[in-house]
Amino acid sequence: MVMSFIKSLVERKCRGDQNPGLNHYVTYGWRSTYESPEIYISIPESGYKKVIVDNEGFFREFPGILRGEWTNQLRGNYDFDEGRIGFRTEFIRKQEGGYQCIWEIQPDGMYWRDQDGYGGNSDSEILLKADLNDKGEFENAFCIYEIDGRKQ
């Protein structure tokens, strides 16, 4: 995956394309102690670079969260409004330009299951989404995207 990303950057540079690239597409689970959580968007041709998630794992310029009925399915006392990434994040390139950021705020209970099947519970898997433009600026607040694999 890294090689294909590098290849696409080289191809864009050869074409003179000004489309941005991200240093990150998808991460599953907690990041290790030694893995930097920094996520940034860059346009090599112009030298533009913008950090979206800092070294502490917080969204920069966090747009907030639109809450709704889905919050009844949250377990625990987590303050997601601070914008810290703890689980999976994914950036999907949109056809019309920009990206959609998919942010997992609660994995299902099976996420915690050990190799023997113990430890899983019935938590709902909850994913939020927000749009970013080609300069890495959030265009809207995070809102519900998917609960237990069902798009909302």
Q: So what's the pLDDT on residue 108?
A: 76
Question: What pLDDT tens digit does each residue of the chain (152 aa) get?
Answer: 344 444 444 444 444 445 567 776 555 455 566 667 788 888 777 888 899 988 888 899 999 999 999 998 888 766 777 898 888 888 888 999 889 999 988 887 665 565 665 666 677 889 999 999 988 999 999 999 999 889 99
Q: How far apart are CA 33 and CA 104, in angstroms?
A: 19
Domain extent, residue 50, equals: 2-12+20-151
Contact 141, 66 (CB under 8 A): yes
Question: How many domains does one find in the chain?
Answer: 1
Q: So what's the pLDDT on residue 77?
A: 67
Q: Which amino acid is at 112?
A: W
